[in-house]
């Protein structure tokens, strides 16, 4: 696969290091509107072809696929341009900044017949994959309750850099710069972690979002710091289970931790993922009487990067695809509406999409959004 990298910031370094470790993958070109960043990146990875705009790269055209590692709101126009050029697209999460755009990207990719995948990174966590297999095999029995959290502390600690002075963090705090806050940023990860691990979909949501004051006037330079920092969500799953899902950038003491607990009538599972590794534990059988939890061995799994390269090689679409990410975006959009209206919302009803979706609404692609009345 001849791969173009679009956007050469923090995540692109991680991605390209992963892609270059795969046999048969070459990174043949890089694009960034910031020439200094582009040159540093391309020098580091020894990439010869460098472009300041995607249009120039498409006019050159000598690549099969692109990985889109631009800021969230740039994903939509750039992915559409790549799809129109017949290129396979691996897009960073969230797929778009709203459901309407995410759906448009999905439909364009499906109509063009190109491979489309979204980098929901925590699919690479082997214990999550094993947990899902155990749920699907019926080992937990009927699932009654699910808890999931995504905890970060970068508004407190400087371990990843200083948000007060660095644009790469400031855009994530500002709706005017295309961010939906912690909900849009890592909310999609934890929604996927919970629903994929519990092997079910979310069908009702009630959310609370909170933005804490972080600077005088709530502003630093051009950045209004108005995007949410913490959210809590109660959800109903399609399998009948009740769930609580929450995330924060103020979780002092947690650099980056995802946790999922799935409680069933026959047993329970806990998946924990931290920067230093991940674990799966379970409580089953006689252990239920004494609440004894034991570690469960888990085989390694392929990464999203490996599965995208294989999908491009074979022409066979793999997960997580654009449509799945668009459906998660719908939950995020509804969560924002439910905070504004302080009401539970139903993903399965069809009479009332959220405001930002109205202009792009289509009525033929699965559940639409609506208030529960
Ligand atoms: N999957 C994950 O776990 C994970 C982790 C971190 C970030 N991300 C996602 O990756 C994306 C990028 O995040 P980041 O942390 O690398 O941001 P970043 O700001 O460090 O990098 C983005 C880069 O894109 C460039 N850019 C902006 N507009 C462009 C355009 N029109 N054409 C070409 N380049 C353009 C910027 O100049 C910058 O160099 C975001 O969508 C983010 O949500 C995903």
CA-wise closest residue to 67 among 13, 131, 104:
13
What are the pLDDT digits (tens) for 74-84? 999 999 999 99
- Whether the upstream peptide bond of residue 320 has omega within 30° of 0, thus cis, is yes
The answer, yes or no, to whether any atom of ligand 1 lies below 6 A from the CB of 31, is yes
Is there a domain that residue 150 lies in?
yes
What are the pLDDT digits (tens) for 87-138? 999 999 999 989 999 999 999 999 999 999 999 999 999 999 999 999 999 9
Residue whose token pair is 């998946």: 271
38 pLDDT higher than 70: yes
Q: Which domain holds residue 187?
A: 123-301
Could you tell me the CA-to-CA distances from 168 to 161, 247, 262 in Å, in that order? 9, 20, 35
Distance CA 224, CA 199 (A): 38
> Is the domain of 139 the same as that of 36?
no
Q: Are 104 and 83 in contact (CB under 8 A)?
A: no
> Is the domain of 111 the same as that of 140?
no
Number of domains in the chain: 2
pLDDT value of residue 364? 32
> Is the domain of 63 the same as that of 151?
no
What spacing in Å lies between the alpha carbon of 9 and ligand 1's midpoint? 6
Q: Are 332 and 191 in contact (CB under 8 A)?
A: yes
What is the position in ligand 1's atom list of the atom closest to the CA of 70? 24
- Both structure tokens of 36: 């200094």
361 pLDDT higher than 70: no
Measured between its terminal Cα atoms, the distance across the chain in Å is 50
Q: What average pLDDT does the chain have? A: 93
Element (H, E) at 133: helix 126-136
Q: Are 229 and 155 in contact (CB under 8 A)?
A: yes
pLDDT value of residue 365? 35
What are the pLDDT digits (tens) for 328-360? 999 999 999 999 998 888 888 753 445 444 333
CA-wise closest residue to 106 among 356, 342, 317:
317
CA-wise closest residue to 330 among 318, 317, 345:
345
Is there a domain that residue 196 lies in?
yes
Mutational pocket test of ligand 1: of 35, 50, 92, the residue with most ligand atoms within 8 Å of the beta carbon: 92
The answer, yes or no, to whether any atom of ligand 1 lies below 6 A from the CB of 29, is no
> Is the domain of 82 the same as that of 211?
no
DSSP, residue by residue, 78-127: HHHHHHHTT-EEEEESSS-SSHHHHHHHHHHHHHHT--EEEE-GGGG-HH
Is there a domain that residue 236 lies in?
yes
The answer, yes or no, to whether any atom of ligand 1 lies below 6 A from the CB of 214, is no
pLDDT category at 373 given cuts 50, 70, 90 is very low
Is the overall model pTM greater than 0.75, yes or no? yes
pLDDT value of residue 126? 98
Mean pLDDT calculated for residue range 254-279: 97
DSSP strand pairing (26-31 vs 49-51): parallel
Mutational pocket test of ligand 1: of 56, 71, 117, 180, the residue with most ligand atoms within 8 Å of the beta carbon: 71
CATH at residue 144: 3.30.360.10
- DSSP code of 173? G
The answer, yes or no, to whether any atom of ligand 1 lies below 6 A from the CB of 367, is no
What are the pLDDT digits (tens) for 135-177? 999 999 999 999 999 999 999 999 999 999 998 899 999 999 8
pLDDT category at 370 given cuts 50, 70, 90 is very low
Mean pLDDT calculated for residue range 184-207: 95
Which residue, 316, 344, 363, sits at the end of a domain?
Answer: 316
| Stronger pLDDT, 312 or 348, i.e. the higher one | 312
Exposed e or buried b for every residue in 64-99, given b needs 16+ CB within 10 A? bbbbbbbbbbbbbebbbbbbebebbbbbbbbbbbbb
The answer, yes or no, to whether any atom of ligand 1 lies below 6 A from the CB of 13, is no
- Both structure tokens of 7: 């956007």
pLDDT value of residue 346? 86
Mutational pocket test of ligand 1: of 4, 5, 6, 9, the residue with most ligand atoms within 8 Å of the beta carbon: 9
> Is the domain of 137 the same as that of 81?
no
366 pLDDT higher than 50: no
The residues, any chain, with a CB within 8 Å of residue 314's CB and separated by 6 or more, are none
What is the position in ligand 1's atom list of the atom closest to the CA of 12? 16
Q: Are 103 and 358 in contact (CB under 8 A)?
A: no
> Is the domain of 287 the same as that of 311?
no
CA-wise closest residue to 35 among 51, 22, 12, 16:
51
pLDDT value of residue 349? 74
pLDDT value of residue 358? 39
What is the position in ligand 1's atom list of the atom closest to the CA of 120? 1
What spacing in Å lies between the alpha carbon of 180 and ligand 1's midpoint? 15
Q: Which long-range contacts (CB under 8 A, 24 or more apart) does 294-303 make?
A: 296/127, 296/130, 296/269, 298/126, 298/127, 298/129, 298/130, 299/126, 299/130, 300/126, 301/123, 301/124, 301/126, 301/129, 303/18, 303/124
What is the position in ligand 1's atom list of the atom closest to the CA of 77? 31
Is there a domain that residue 277 lies in?
yes
The answer, yes or no, to whether any atom of ligand 1 lies below 6 A from the CB of 178, is no
> Is the domain of 19 the same as that of 73?
yes
Mean pLDDT calculated for residue range 242-271: 98
Is there a domain that residue 311 lies in?
yes
CATH at residue 56: 3.40.50.720
pLDDT value of residue 371? 35
- Both structure tokens of 139: 């080992």
The answer, yes or no, to whether any atom of ligand 1 lies below 6 A from the CB of 119, is yes
CB atoms within 10 A of CB 213: 9
Mean pLDDT calculated for residue range 52-76: 97
pLDDT value of residue 178? 82
Q: Are 239 and 118 in contact (CB under 8 A)?
A: no
């Amino acid at each position: 696969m001849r791969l173009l990298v679009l956007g050469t910031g923090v995540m692109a370094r991680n991605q390209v290091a992963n892609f270059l470790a795969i046999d048969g993958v070459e990174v043949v070109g890089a694009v960034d509107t910031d020439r200094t960043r582009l040159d540093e990146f391309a020098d580091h990875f020894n990439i010869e072809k460098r472009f300041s705009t995607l249009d120039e790269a498409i006019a050159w055209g000598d690549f099969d696929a692109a990985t889109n590692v631009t800021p969230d709101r740039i994903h939509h126009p750039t992915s559409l341009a790549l799809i129109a050029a017949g290129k396979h697209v691996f897009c960073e999460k969230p797929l778009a900044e709203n459901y309407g755009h995410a759906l448009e990207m999905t439909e364009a990719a499906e109509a063009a017949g190109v491979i489309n995948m979204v980098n929901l990174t925590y699919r690479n966590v082997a214990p999550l994959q094993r947990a899902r297999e155990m749920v699907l095999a019926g080992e937990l029995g009927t699932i009654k309750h699910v808890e999931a959290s995504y905890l970060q502390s970068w508004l407190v600690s400087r371990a990843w850099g200083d948000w007060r002075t660095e644009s790469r963090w400031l855009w994530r705090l500002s709706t005017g710069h295309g961010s939906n806050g912690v909900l849009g940023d890592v909310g999609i990860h934890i929604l996927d972690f919970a629903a994929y691990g519990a092997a079910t979909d979310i069908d009702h949501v009630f959310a609370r979002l909170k933005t804490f004051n972080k600077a005088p006037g709530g502003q630093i330079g051009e950045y209004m710091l108005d995007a949410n920092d913490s959210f809590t969500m109660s959800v109903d799953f399609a399998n009948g289970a009740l769930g609580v899902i929450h995330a924060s950038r103020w979780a002092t003491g947690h650099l980056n931790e995802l946790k999922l607990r799935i409680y069933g009538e026959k047993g329970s599972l806990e998946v924990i993922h931290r920067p230093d590794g991940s674990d799966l534990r379970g409580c089953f059988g006689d252990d239920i009487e004494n609440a004894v939890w034991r570690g469960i061995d888990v085989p390694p799994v392929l990464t999203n990067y490996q599965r995208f390269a294989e999908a491009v090689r074979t022409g066979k679409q793999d997960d997580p695809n654009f449509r799945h990410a668009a459906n998660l975006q719908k939950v995020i959009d509804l969560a924002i509406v439910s905070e504004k209206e302080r009401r539970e919302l139903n993903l399965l009803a069809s009479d009332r999409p959220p405001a930002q979706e109205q202009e792009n609404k289509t009525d033929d692609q699965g559940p639409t959004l609506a208030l529960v009345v």
